[in-house]
Structure 1
Amino acid sequence: MRRATWHLWVVLGVVLGALVVRTARVTSDGGMDNAIVVRAARVWLAGGSPYDDPHFLYLPSAVLAAAPQAVIGRSALSVLVPVVVTGCLVGGWGCALRLHGVGLRSRFAVLGLIGLAVGFAPFAHLVLLGNWTATAVLALPLGLLLAGRGRWVAAGAVIGAAVALKPLLAPVGLLFVFAGRWRGLMVMVGVPVTASVGAALLLPDPVGFLTRTLPFLLRGDDGFVRLYEASLVAVLPRVGVPGAVAGGIALGAAGAGVWCAYRRWRRGCEEIRQSRPSGPSRLSSPLCLAETAAMLMLSAFLVSRPSYDHYLLVVVPVLLAGLSCEGAVARGVWFWLALVPQLPGVTWPYLEAVQRRAFRDAVTLCGLAVTVGVRCFGSGRVFSPPPPLPVPSSRGAAPAERRAPGASEVPGVGE
């Protein structure tokens, strides 16, 4: 691809700069969601339990990670947090591009990022909230990039660090199981467990996550939060489906998604399963890694509590960056139709209220899950190449099987 001209870089800088400046002007503590974590850290520094706030849904390690923000002024946080969140989103897009072998200076790289920032509503929403989902947006493509180069232990460390901050990427552990990379899986599990146990010992309520947050997540009885959740277990009851039936549908859909991810892995990642890359410069099956991981995450979003619109940013850039690859799911029309509800500035009939946005998000989530699932279920068909046609010897030349290595099979060429 051609390199992007300076005009495109200027447009990108203006778009991202305007987003950061607007967020800094209208938020405090870096955004509503980041403020929850910062408030929990301030409570801990004051001697209280961060889990007194039912909306603090993070592991204990996140309290220590947020502690530096607790001693920074609110005005500084209002600028620093949107800059860091935007940097994570840009870094995640860059890693997704490198996963698929796309140059960072190409026009597609710049135009794709502009398109995400301008044409995909969850991008600006995530920056405005300052949600720590941004760490997962960066960690998933970076982890896949490392895994594609055979560095599964490093990939486990990256994913594990993101889980320690926010346990959003926990389903990616199944990717390590599919690949049989047990050392990488142990690192992925060990990093957040070690960090959380160590941090919990410093809290006045060491088991607060298990006794307060986990039951809250399982019950999902927060009427305010439920209005913004896009998972099937939250959306279906709002249209009259009994809770037990909605849970069964969501579990069935998630199970089907995991099966599709496993099928994608088995039918498309032979290079990773059967051999190791020869060196750090070689990348194995990027489409297989991206689509398998995306299917695992989408399956979790269908049934998880909570499940918000900005969670889509974890999978969309990884899939979109593969647009240049033959057979990528982003080349299908259904991928783009699933993203239509996320166009900013479009008012949809009967969904004008903010509290009904979850229905639009659920359409996108289910549309992406079905699209990627169909791709995973039917991909990776391997056809054996036809046997080479016999080439008659010319002028007494030796048969093809007796020729020296590197000799041409076409008579008269290379003689």
Structure 2
Amino acid sequence: MNTGKVAVSGWLLRPVTWHAWVALGAVLLAAVVRVGLRGPDGGMDNAIVVRAAEAWLEGRSPYADRHFLYLPGAVLAAVPQAVLPQAVVRFLVPAGVAASLVFGWGCALRIHGVPWRSRFAVFGLLALAVGFAPFGHLVDLGNWTVASAAALPLALLFVCRGRWVAAGLVIGAAVAVKPLLAPVVLLFVFARRWRALGAAVLAPAVVSVGAALAMPDPAGFFTRTLPFLLRGDDSFVRLYEASPAAVLPRLGVPQGAATLLALVAAGAGVWCAWRRWRGGAGPQEQRVVETAVMLMLAAFLVSKPSYDHYLLVVVPLLLAGAREPGAVARRPWFWLALVPQIPGFAWPWLEPGTRRAFRDSVTLCVLALTGARSCVRAGGATVESADAPVAGEPPVPVSRAAF
């Protein structure tokens, strides 16, 4: 049995032929060109940010649009798109999204020492692009979630190499654009890496304050956007939110009960992440990844909004570690959770776009339960032996052969 597993692992790590590269390139290129030909702005969500940048250039408040849910730093980051010709932006944005997802996948592979030329690397990315619907959705929308999908694997790669402050700066830079990765700062708290925590907090704070001072409405994020996020009362947006706090009321559960249930689930997820960090079972890289992923899944359970493309922040990281014994991606429930995300599969009563949130919620909840179970098991295996790392010792740097 072990010999067979080693043989399969060896086959996956062999370099691919040029045919596989051609197939992968064709898939990614087709996705980019399709978006570029269909819309003039590189995606609906990207257009929201670009309009905010255009409003700022014209002297208006970017936060007049209540669907602009980003920190002030995103306005300045979108200025280049606002001044470029639409003929360039319509292709540049989906190409940038696809390239960023490839970059994030490459960082996730490097965490586990998987060569990027291997069959596992190429076929894994091909499976994400073809068989995982949120991948195509993110390219279509041009949503800035892609910054988090690229930044989190890079930050965890720095953590695995003991470069905690660099990881904090990466997380902070991503939060300055979109605060999606804010829950990951708890990883620095678990590890007692206070300088890394300071970098993760100060970077977006400095960028946001500096950018806000250049806005005609410096407090717009706090007076308009933050109350909107806390209320979550946009009937259009709510139809696409996948968190239990948004989905359960659509099934008849009172909003207060749904929110309380989601908060309890999120709190349990944070506890599972802490337990995984305390436990030293498995490779240190796996420990780092599963702790961070559990923190993100816990946040997605209660977050408003919480969309299907948020899954691209965590799923590639889990998939890249599938070769490790005891990894989340080796559990059958991980794959069952992804079944609702198979493109082109018809689901009875769930085909209308406004009902897709039910499928996404199933994936999110099953992934969270699978990750939580894995964290508790790994955390309970060697809790006592992990005291030294919790005191602030960095994980063992990656020692396996990289690219």
Fold match, TM over 0.5? yes
Bigger shift: residues 3-12 or 249-258 = 3-12
2:179 aligned with 1:167: yes
* 8 Å Cα contact 2:109/2:321 also seen in 1: yes
> Residue 413 of structure 1 corresponds to which residue in structure 2?
none
Structure 1 segments of 4+ aligned residues over 2 angstroms from their partners: 382-385
Report the Cα distance in structure 2 between the residues aligned to 1:131 and 1:177, rounded to whole angstroms: 29
2:81 aligned with 1:81: no
* 8 Å Cα contact 2:279/2:383 also seen in 1: no
Question: Which structure has more RCO (C-alpha within 8 Å, separation ≥ 6)?
Answer: 2
Report the Cα distance in structure 1 between the residues aligned to 2:316 and 2:343, rounded to whole angstroms: 17
Q: 1:384 to 1:139 in 2, by over 3 A?
A: closer
* 8 Å Cα contact 2:272/2:375 also seen in 1: yes
Report the Cα distance in structure 2 between the residues aligned to 1:384 and 1:162, rounded to whole angstroms: 34
User: Aligned residues: percent identity?
Assistant: 67
2:48 aligned with 1:36: yes
User: Deviation digits for residues 184-231 of structure 1, max 9, x if unmatched?
Assistant: 010011110000000000000000000000000000000000000001
Tell me how far 1:382 sits from its aligned partner.
3.2
Report the Cα distance in structure 2 between the residues aligned to 1:168 and 1:137, rounded to whole angstroms: 10
More helix, by proportion: 2
Tell me how far 1:268 sits from its aligned partner.
2.1
- Equivalent of 2:235, from 214, 223, 243? 223
User: Deviation digits for residues 10-48 of structure 1, max 9, x if unmatched?
Assistant: 110111011111011112211000000000000010010
Q: 1:262 to 1:47 in 2, by over 3 A?
A: same
> Highest Rg: 1 or 2?
1
> Residue 345 of structure 2 corresponds to which residue in structure 1?
346
Report the Cα distance in structure 2 between the residues aligned to 1:219 and 1:140, rounded to whole angstroms: 28
* 8 Å Cα contact 2:43/2:143 also seen in 1: yes
* 8 Å Cα contact 2:281/2:382 also seen in 1: no
User: Deviation digits for residues 306-350 of structure 1, max 9, x if unmatched?
Assistant: 000000000000000001111111001000000000000011011
SS of 2:66's equivalent in the other structure is: coil
Q: Which runs of 5+ in 1 are unaligned?
A: 271-283, 386-415
Q: Which runs of 5+ in 2 are unaligned?
A: 1-12, 386-403
* 8 Å Cα contact 2:278/2:383 also seen in 1: no
User: Deviation digits for residues 80-135 of structure 1, max 9, x if unmatched?
Assistant: 00111101000000000001111111000000000000000000000000000001
SS of 2:218's equivalent in the other structure is: coil
> Residue 169 of structure 2 corresponds to which residue in structure 1?
157
- Equivalent of 2:273, from 261, 268, 272? 261
> Residue 299 of structure 1 corresponds to which residue in structure 2?
298
User: How many pairs align?
Assistant: 372
1:54-93 to 2 correspondences below 5 Å: 54-93=66-105
Report the Cα distance in structure 2 between the residues aligned to 1:322 and 1:92, rounded to whole angstroms: 13
Report the Cα distance in structure 2 between the residues aligned to 1:106 and 1:227, rounded to whole angstroms: 40
> Residue 206 of structure 2 corresponds to which residue in structure 1?
194
Report the Cα distance in structure 1 between the residues aligned to 2:101 and 2:384, rounded to whole angstroms: 41
Q: What is the one-letter code of the residue matched to 2:293?
A: A
* 8 Å Cα contact 2:232/2:304 also seen in 1: yes
SS of 2:279's equivalent in the other structure is: helix
Tell me how far 1:384 sits from its aligned partner.
11
Report the Cα distance in structure 2 between the residues aligned to 1:133 and 1:223, rounded to whole angstroms: 22
* 8 Å Cα contact 1:27/1:128 also seen in 2: no
SS of 1:368's equivalent in the other structure is: helix
Report the Cα distance in structure 2 between the residues aligned to 1:63 and 1:6, rounded to whole angstroms: 41
Report the Cα distance in structure 2 between the residues aligned to 1:376 and 1:117, rounded to whole angstroms: 28
